[in-house]
Amino acid sequence: MLKAHVQAQSFNLRQLGIETGAGKYRRLAGKVDIFSGYGPRVILGPVRAVISSGDSKSKSGVETTEKLFENNGSLASSSRSEGINVRAVIKIRKKMKEKLTDKIEDQWESLMNGIGRGISIQLVSEDIDPVTKSRKSVETFVRGWLPKLSDSPYVVEYGADLTVPSDFGDPGAILVTNLHDKEFFLMEILVHGFRNGPIFFHSATWIHSRKDNPRCRIIFKNQAYLPSHTPAGIRDLRYEDLTSLHGSKKQERKFHERIYDYDVYNDLGNPDKSKDLVRQVLGTKEWPYPRRCRTGRKPTKTDPYTETRIEKPHPVYVPRDETFEEIKQNTFSAGRLKALFHNLIPLIAATLSSSDIPFTNFSDLDKLYFDGVILKDQEESQEKKTELLSSMMNQVFTVGDKLLKYDVPAIIKRDRFSWLRDTEFGRQALAGVNPVAIELLREVPILSKLDPATYGQPESAITKELIERELRGISVEEAIKDKKLFILDYHDMLLPFIEKINSLPDRKAYASRTVFYYTPDGILNPIVIELSLPPTASSPGNKYVFTHGHDATTHWVWKLAKAHVSSNDAGVHQLVYHWLKTHACVEPYIIATHRQLSSMHPVYKLLHPHMRYTMEINALARQSLINGGGVIEGCFSPGKYAMEISSAAYKSLWRFDMEALPADLLGRGMAVEDPSVAGGIKLVIEDYPYAADGLLVWSAIKEMVESYVEHYYSEPTSITSDIELQAWWDEIKNEGHPDKKNEPWWPNLNTQDDLSGILSTMIWTASGQHAAINFGQYPFGGYPPNRPTLMRKLIPQVGDPEYRKFLKDPEYSFMTSLPTQLQATKVMAVQDTLSTHSPDEEYINELHRIHSLPHSDPEVQNIFEAFRVKLDEIERIIHERNMNVNLKNRCGAGVPPYELLLPSSTPGVTGRGIPNSISI
């Protein structure tokens, strides 16, 4: 960057020897004094530069001028050689929805750019001057009276013309300085005129105003370099660009900044507002957690360890380039609006009042999907709200003519009663929204690892004899040997929190274990459920066992037991498998990638599409979903203890080396090693849709990553000698996941296989894994009886006052145990938002197109093209599987196909599609 730039307010063209009236320039000659901005001052030999005047009198189409500036915004000049005329085309994206003030500002910016007072660019050579051993560069101002509109009405192009000496070499970087008062979005710069053809500088970044930060922005051309291979002329810029992203821990971050740093989760509570909103700081020895992006806000008045909160509609800081682009922002805002109005549904709907009432029968619930709910006549302001809802809520439900009506979730669309059947309960453990918790049952008795002094005898109440009653004459030993018994075990994870949860108003939960039997017919059936409460002096066992039975009473009790298991599953899915293991654990990878890997680094370029929007959606989650008093606490069983459960799960369960899909399946006993099959592992249950489709996607990702790594790291020591790469991996462990930094299971980073495994795990987690456990939330959870997020009553026991009411009206007892109408509608709104693909979503089968921008290497482009072909084949295979009648977990009467791992999707709630990143 130049030491100082010409101040826009005092810029005088005549003082610079430029006659603007006739569009002519007067020639001056001399040397130029250039200051790099970060390094020492460099005195270059004479270099020629020109800027466009719109005059066509010169032979080259532009009038050339040798111009001597001081070191505060100089044009390099030369008499050493005739030079080469080059043109830089700068592409800028405008806002899609502009206020009148924005349009006026745009006109002013166009004027400033037209007269060369808006944007300064400095072209930097990859070579150093052989005489001075210093950087070679040429600077000019973006200039053009009428910016060219591209094919898009929201994109404008400006030109800047320069003359560089014939020995300038290829440009490797462009330094951009924004002299306007506000930021602009720079899409790309294309430089024409060099002998090797146009040189592309992909940017897709916000350029801050110089008044916010005097430093210029460094944009590198679209070529990947390992640190040791960086051309000499831009080597120092590589380091300077990286260090500019580090910042410090001494101040609050500002929204124009691009600072990446770490902090603990200390912004979930709000003790200044209420004692009920005091929450644990996560990221301590007692409550370990991955780190989040630091915002640096002041501590609360009542707790110096808790950061003050920023509430909606004010935004939470994330680095500027991590924020939603306009299309995404508009989509998400509509979703948030839907959630807001869903909170008000009990006040709007005619059947509801200010009290939070339960569903009392299935007809109450069915009205939301089939009949609709007539809204009451309200005051004018309410009618305006209804009109607004009509225009924005067009995906999951419609609002019009005062009728509120939800779309039918996939789970009941083909078969309204499928959710009642045990076969469907088992199918969803393999092909539902949370197919990642089921494990092979390896031994009986089932033992707890909790402290028996606190939690009682470790043996489960599910005995060998009880299981064998359900096995049709097969012994437990034989079923275990043949790998026919499976378990969904939330006992140890939840039992330490059950007493606290049950002390909350209208929350009643158990810690559950569910044993499944995989029948010879290929059906996974739940056969025994154990629901546990903490032991007491009067009830040291406090373990209740249920089987499906055949009489009416047992049948309804079994339904209630399954509902409690589903409630456990919904909470653990949201807090552990979804939020923790994808959203929260990936954020440190993103922070470290920006802090330690240059944007020129091949690993940065590979990971960049898989980091899109994640930090912004995580910040919004901390603001509205996982915060104290937020949607998760209000609508899921754990309530105010939700994030404590997430922290406990991180402590006991999360291991980076087990997040790869094959390792996860082997660890849960759902697959065995088998060198004779593709991929080296064989599924224990062949008809396991998540795993079967997931392994196809995993294999394609790993094959692509291995080819990419081999391309850039062909030398034996190239990985161990890559200082940026080694610093990146060290930082992920020591600063991103510091509570786990001393664990022995962290992979080494020495070989191609090491790097390929690490990168494949990260990409799989951000793409396929997140898609599989996210985009089915409304299709499966949009019908509360199928997947209640909380239960409000324990199962009535003989002798309880509630038992007689249960016998008299079991449907009422069941429905009033589920979430209330307010809780259900809030959750449905959130699940809709989380299940929605934005119109600007980027999917994994589009990587070949996305990587064509930052990569100029044709071999790399071939790698991603081969990946696209592989994904097209995977999509075909998945469609074929969904039509195979022998695969009963994805094909059959009323059975929805398994599409969550289909690579492509259209916008909206589709139940399919793999975005590149965790973007919602």
Radius of gyration of the chain from Cα atoms?
31
Strand (E) or helix (H) holding 511:
strand 511-518
What strands, in cross-sheet order, belong to the sheet with 143-149? 143-149, 155-164, 84-93, 184-192, 199-207
Sequence-ordered list of residues with C-beta below 8 angstroms from that of 338, at least 6 positions apart, any chain: 389, 392, 393, 396, 829, 832, 833
Q: Which entry of 583, 610, 851, 855 is annotated as an active-site residue?
A: 583
Of 600, 593, 598, 597, nearest in space to 224 by CA = 600
DSSP, collapsed to helix, strand or coil, labels residue 696 as helix
CB 252 within 8 A of CB 270: no
* Whether 51 is catalytic: no
- CA–CA gap between residue 229 and residue 237 (Å, rounded): 14
* Whether 770 is catalytic: yes
CA–CA distances in Å: residue 294 to residues 319, 588, 736, 762: 10, 11, 12, 22
Q: Which entry of 180, 548, 573, 578 is annotated as an active-site residue?
A: 578
Q: For the chain, what percentages of helix, strand and coil (3-state, to nearest 5) are there? A: 40, 15, 45
Neighbour count for residue 182 (Cβ, 10 Å) = 13
Stated length of the chain: 920
Q: How far is CA 547 from the centre of its chain?
A: 40
Q: Which entry of 266, 434, 774, 882 is annotated as an active-site residue?
A: 774
* Whether 578 is catalytic: yes
Q: Which entry of 770, 837, 851, 855 is annotated as an active-site residue?
A: 770
CA–CA distances in Å: residue 187 to residues 60, 159, 204, 437: 28, 14, 4, 43
DSSP 744-802: TTSPP-SSHHHHHHHHHHHHHIIIIIHHHHHTTHHHHHTSTTTS-S--SSPPP-TTSHH
Sequence-ordered list of residues with C-beta below 8 angstroms from that of 484, at least 6 positions apart, any chain: 474, 517, 518
- CA–CA gap between residue 693 and residue 269 (Å, rounded): 40
- CA–CA gap between residue 526 and residue 422 (Å, rounded): 6
CB 136 within 8 A of CB 169: yes
DSSP 634-656: HHSTTGGGHHHHHHHHHHHH--G
One-letter amino acid identity for 343?
N
Helices 752-764 and 689-712, packing angle to 10 deg:
140
- CA–CA gap between residue 678 and residue 658 (Å, rounded): 20
Of 374, 370, 324, 379, nearest in space to 352 by CA = 374
Q: How far is CA 771 from the centre of its chain?
A: 10
Residue given tokens 């909790």 in the structure block: 450
* Whether 920 is catalytic: yes
Residue given tokens 């916000």 in the structure block: 206
Sequence-ordered list of residues with C-beta below 8 angstroms from that of 561, at least 6 positions apart, any chain: 529, 531, 546, 795
Backbone CA torsion sign across 465, 469, 474, 478: negative
* Whether 774 is catalytic: yes
One-letter amino acid identity for 372?
G
CA–CA distances in Å: residue 507 to residues 269, 501, 560, 571, 584: 21, 6, 15, 13, 27
Strand (E) or helix (H) holding 822:
helix 821-834
- CA–CA gap between residue 136 and residue 154 (Å, rounded): 35
Tokens (6 digits) for 307: 């950061």
DSSP letter at 219? E
By annotation, the residues acting in catalysis are: 578, 583, 770, 774, 920
